[in-house]
Amino acid sequence: MKSRRQQNIVTLLSDSDWLTTDALAGQLGVSKETIRRDLSDLQQQGKILRQHGRARLIHPDSRDSGEPFGSRLKSHYADKVDIARHALAYISEGMTLALDASSTCFHLARQLPDLPLTVFTNSLPICHEMSKRENITLICSGGTLARKYRCYVNPALVTQLKGLEIDLFIFSCEGVDERGVMWDPVAHNAAYKAQLLGRADQSLLLIDKSKFQRSSEVKIGLLSQVTHVIQSDSKGRAERP
């Protein structure tokens, strides 16, 4: 019965853009709690996306559903600038940092003082910003440029990282679901983050309040793997040690 019900959910979602938990419960004649459990299962199977009490089907022909870098740069601008400013407290001379290609990390790069640091990144805009700092050693991941996301895709990343000791990996993500799973809409960005998260001595997640209780197409890892989190909320900054 459970598998049949979940297949019915997939069928209903295939005919709609988004459906709420209430709507699915009403159409299938079951409780909202049952639907939530089914949606959690389907999400773990990579079949659906969940966001704020609603769900939609992941269509194989539209997995590249991430926003372009330029659009992300404008979204929640003030929150991201403030989060980036607080992240500076985690950075000190002599460190080797890894930054992802998120817009929040770009805001951090713009505020980063010209300290003796090593910065590794797959972000083209961050590379341009770091090139202005005389005391920062810049290491670019290189590879093929994904213009939509302004980042490099390098299949040899694992080999490249073998000789690099990362003190702190700073990154953002598309969402964190209710199970504490971090998500990204693009496979190559998720893979970059997963690898750096596993290699760095410490990690710092920069995330605005809109991204909680959200999922996306590709798993990065678990929030419990992250050493530090800086997030925005209705009253400003909140930090989990």
Q: Which residues of the chain form CATH 3.40.50.1360?
A: 69-240
CA distance 134 to 116: 9
Distance between CA atoms of 17 and 93, rounded to whole angstroms? 49
Helix (H, G, I), strand (E, B) or coil at 207: strand
Please report the pLDDT score of residue 66 as a whole number: 66
Per-residue pLDDT of the chain (241 residues; tens, 9 = 90+): 788 788 888 888 877 778 899 989 888 889 999 989 998 888 877 778 887 788 888 765 445 556 777 777 667 678 889 999 999 999 999 999 999 999 999 999 999 999 999 999 999 999 999 999 999 999 999 999 999 999 999 988 988 998 899 999 999 999 998 889 999 988 889 999 999 999 999 999 999 877 888 888 889 999 999 999 998 764 545 454 3
CATH architecture type of domain 69-240: 3-Layer(aba) Sandwich (3.40)
- Who's near 20: CB < 8 A, 6+ residues apart? 53, 54
CATH of domain 2-62: 1.10.10.10
Coil, helix or strand for 34?
Answer: helix
Beta strands at 96-99 and 117-121: parallel, antiparallel or unpaired = parallel
Q: What is the pLDDT of residue 199?
A: 94
pTM of structure = 0.73
pLDDT of residue 163: 86
**CATH 1.10.10.10 in the chain, residue ranges:** 2-62
